Amino acid sequence: MHPLTEQPVRMTAVNEPFADPSTSIEEIFRSTYLVLRDSGYAGVSIQRIADRTSLSKSTLYYHFDDKYDLLMQFSEEFLSWYLERLVEEYEGDAQETLSRLLDIVLLGEADDGVLFEDVFAPGYIATILEMRAQAVRDQEMRTYVTVTDEVMRDHLVALIEDGIEDGTFIDVDPEATASVLFVFFEGGLLLRSCEEDTEWMAAVRDAADAYLEEIKQHE
């Protein structure tokens, strides 16, 4: 168990999305992140998000059609922010970025000591699972989940294309490779969040490594 209240706040580069908002949109995203983290998807409403900004509810409706529109744009921004942060940290090294992502979700810790819980707040992951559960039967939520997953895969595609371009990877199909890595990544993310014993995931990390090794350019 890692209830949010007992989680130590770690000042890593990756655990503070939209920490220093400079525009209304960023302020709204910051608040959305906090509401999702603290109350889960069930707690999300335009009113509640507005309450944690300096803005009025009507300002939020000026920027976003509705809650879904906001959540969809938030997810895109959140994932983009997160992945760009990782890429930046590794100076664009695709292989290192992917390895780090896989370490965090499959081993629970990156080699610099950043923990899974530092990056993925339990409340946020619970929200993702709640939305996925709702998406099984709700068309609007299904579209939302699909778009969010596509954004994530597109980022992986871009990383792999960078790796091909700079000679790190062989000439693989970036879409296909991203799809495989997405299942390792998202599968690991979802399973780690809700299981007590995650030791078994180390074997999955090894398999992901073998997969990356196969697409690596060797002299």
Which residues make up the interface to a second copy (CB under 8 A)? 1, 3, 40, 122-123, 125-127, 129-130, 132-137, 139, 141-143, 145-146, 149-150, 153, 173, 175-177, 179-180, 182-184, 186-188, 190-191, 193-197, 200-201, 203-204, 206-207, 211
For residue 157, the Cα-to-chain-centroid distance in whole angstroms is 15
Task: In angstroms, give the least distance from the CB of 119 to a second copy.
Answer: 15
Is 58 or 139 the residue whose CB approaches a second copy more closely?
A: 139
CB of 18 to a second copy, least distance (A): 22
Nearer to a second copy, 65 or 173 (CB): 173
CB 198 within 8 A of CB 191: yes
**C-alpha–C-alpha distance, residues 210 and 207, integer Å:** 5
Three-class DSSP category at 217: coil
Tell me whether residue 93 or residue 130 sits nearer to a second copy (CB atom). 130
Q: What CA–CA distance (Å, rounded) separates 45 from 35?
A: 9
Nearer to a second copy, 25 or 191 (CB): 191
Distances (CA, A) of 118 to 11, 57, 190: 9, 31, 16
Query: 124 with 78: CB under 8 angstroms?
Result: no
Nearer to a second copy, 26 or 186 (CB): 186
Is the Cβ–Cβ distance between 103 and 111 less than 8 Å?
Answer: yes
Query: How far apart are CB 201 and a second copy at their closest, in Å?
Result: 7
